[in-house]
């Protein structure tokens, strides 16, 4: 059979150690049921890991603390990046291959992470990519698609399953957070151009910023207490899905349906 070209566009490839630590911590802290229920020799795929495979290696090591038998596969559209990742392989548990949105993988993945991949795509292309990736998931699988700052201190990601988008999560290093408005810069491509009046995500960020300002007195007890108080205020009008145990870590997750683009 003729080999097809990978589907997608080469990214800038920027990466750094621990850049994706926040999404990885959230995954391990909230998806234990998915990880434990996954069949033996289940597959996790890191799509578009960049010029240096450090975040894929870190992901594998973190996942193995819960499921030591999990197979992790890094996919990159650039052959030179795949070749450079060769020394980091630990076959068969950790491998790197050439591939893109077509997902040339041995089995449908139970986890699919695509971080900082869709930023350079047109907004109109996102729905098709999401549909394609979700169709490639295992029946119980989960897609994590989002973006983060270069140092990983600000991150936003959507979770999707075979039915489509389910949640949107925000995470920050609270000690350096000036305002939740900073998340506007890291919204997934499906939402970043929707941060305008009349759109749901704009209303959320506006309400959150107001709550953050109103909770400024809590800052006397630390940024964490201010974040928790603001999150608690948001629950009055928004379907916040997590509670204080996650808020204390600088996280907050909202039901996607409340934020979906209008029109």
3-class SS at 51?
coil
For 143-198, the pLDDT digits (tens) are 999 999 999 999 999 999 999 999 999 999 999 999 999 999 999 999 999 999 99
Number of domains in the chain: 1
Per the DSSP assignment, residues forming a β-bridge with 254 are 168, 240
What CA–CA distance (Å, rounded) separates 242 from 239?
9
What CA–CA distance (Å, rounded) separates 250 from 176?
11
For 73-102, the pLDDT digits (tens) are 999 999 999 999 999 999 899 999 999 999
Q: What is the phi/psi pair of residue 212, to 5°?
A: -60, -45
- Residue 225 placed within a domain: no
- Residue 47 placed within a domain: yes
- Residue 239 placed within a domain: no
Q: What is the phi/psi pair of residue 88, to 5°?
A: -95, -5
Sequence-distant (6+) residues with CB within 8 A of 114 are: 47, 48, 133, 143, 144, 145
Q: What is the pLDDT of residue 3?
A: 54
- Residue 256 placed within a domain: no
Asked if residues 24 and 56 have their Cβ atoms less than 8 Å apart, the reply is: no
For 3-18, the pLDDT digits (tens) are 568 888 887 778 889 9
Which domain CATH number covers 122? 3.40.50.150
User: Residue 38 — very low, low, confident or very high, per pLDDT cuts 50/70/90?
Assistant: very high
- Computed over every residue of the chain, the mean pLDDT equals 95
Other beta carbons less than 10 A from residue 47's beta carbon: 26
Asked if residues 155 and 171 have their Cβ atoms less than 8 Å apart, the reply is: yes
Sequence-distant (6+) residues with CB within 8 A of 197 are: none
Q: In terms of residue numbers, what domain contains 131?
A: 21-190
- Residue 230 placed within a domain: no
CA dihedral 226, 232, 236, 242 (to 10 degrees): 130
- In the predicted structure, residue 1 carries a pLDDT above the cut 60: no
- Residue 29 placed within a domain: yes
- Residue 251 placed within a domain: no
- Residue 203 placed within a domain: no
Asked if residues 248 and 236 have their Cβ atoms less than 8 Å apart, the reply is: no
Angle of helix 223-234 versus helix 200-214 axis, rounded to 10: 130
């Amino acid at each position: 059979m003729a080999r097809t070209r990978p589907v997608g566009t080469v990214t800038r490839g920027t990466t750094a150690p621990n850049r994706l630590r926040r999404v990885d911590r959230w995954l391990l802290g909230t998806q234990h049921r998915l990880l434990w229920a996954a069949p033996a020799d289940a597959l996790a795929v890191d799509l578009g890991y960049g010029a240096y495979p450090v975040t894929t290696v870190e992901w594998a090591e973190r996942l193995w603390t819960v499921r030591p038998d999990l197979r992790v596969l890094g996919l990159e559209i650039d052959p030179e990046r795949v070749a450079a990742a060769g020394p980091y392989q630990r076959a068969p548990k950790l491998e790197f291959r050439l591939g893109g949105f077509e997902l040339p993988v041995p089995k449908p993945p139970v986890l699919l992470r695509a971080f900082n991949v869709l930023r350079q795509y047109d907004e109109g292309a996102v729905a098709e990519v999401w549909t394609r990736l979700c169709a490639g998931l295992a029946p119980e699988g989960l897609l994590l698609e989002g973006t983060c700052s270069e140092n990983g201190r600000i991150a936003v990601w959507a979770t999707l399953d075979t039915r489509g988008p389910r949640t949107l999560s925000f995470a920050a290093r609270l000690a350096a957070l000036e305002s939740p408005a900073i998340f506007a810069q890291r919204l997934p491509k499906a939402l970043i151009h929707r941060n305008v009046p009349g759109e749901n995500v704009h209303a959320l960020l506006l309400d959150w910023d107001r709550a953050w300002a109103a909770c400024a007195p809590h800052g006397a007890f630390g940024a964490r207490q201010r974040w928790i108080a603001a999150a608690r205020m948001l629950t009055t009008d928004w379907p916040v899905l997590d509670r204080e145990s996650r808020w204390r870590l600088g996280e907050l997750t909202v039901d996607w349906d409340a934020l979906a683009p209008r029109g």
